[in-house]
Structure 1
Amino acid sequence: MIEETRLQQVGEILRRAGLGDQTLSVLRETFTDLHFTSCLDEDVGVGEPALRGEGFNIYLVDGRKHCLTLTNDLEGATGLLLAQVEDEE
């Protein structure tokens, strides 16, 4: 389970620091109870983000079963997928 306040905290860190290897490392050290992974948003393919920010989207991951899946359910979420949104020019 991920609380809405935790999701907002992660979003605020990404807004301030940006999505990069160093930020991902800090998030993993700070929120040890959550699993974090990252990719480009265009690689996600399906699902709606739980939180959108400038330059990133956050998706909820459910890892309770054998395979990881995206979810919209905070109660079932065990981790966050941080997806970098690239500017379209």
Structure 2
Amino acid sequence: MIAQEELEQVASHVTTHGLSEQVITELKSKFPGKHFTWCMEDDIHTGKPVYQAEAFSIYVVNSKEHCSVLTNDLDSASGYVLAETVVD
């Protein structure tokens, strides 16, 4: 489960610090037990973000089954996909 407050904290951290390997490591430390993946926005072809900013979008995943799947249900979500948007 991902609480709305936690989602907002993740978004705030990324807004403040940007996306990098260091930020992913910081988030994993700050939110133990949650999975974080960093990719480019154009790598995601399905799903709808649960949070959007100019420089990134946040998707959440459900990993209850063998494979992780994108979801918009925060109650069943167990991790984050942070998708970087290239700003021209």
Is the 1:39–1:84 contact (alpha carbons within 8 Å) kept by the matching residues of 2?
A: yes
Is the 1:61–1:69 contact (alpha carbons within 8 Å) kept by the matching residues of 2?
A: yes
Q: Hey, what does 1:84 align to over in structure 2?
A: 84
User: 1:44-89: CA deviations, max 9, x gaps?
Assistant: 11111000122110001000001110001001100000010012x4
Calculate the aligned-residue CA RMSD, in Å: 0.8
Q: Within 5 A, what are the aligned runs for 1:1-89? A: 1-87=1-87, 89=88
Q: How many corresponding residue pairs?
A: 88
Between the aligned residues of both structures, percent identity stands at 38
Aligned equivalents of 1:22 and 1:5: distance in 2?
A: 22
TM-score (norm 2): 0.96
- What's the secondary structure of 1:32's corresponding residue? coil
Structure 1 segments of 4 or more deviating over 3 A? none
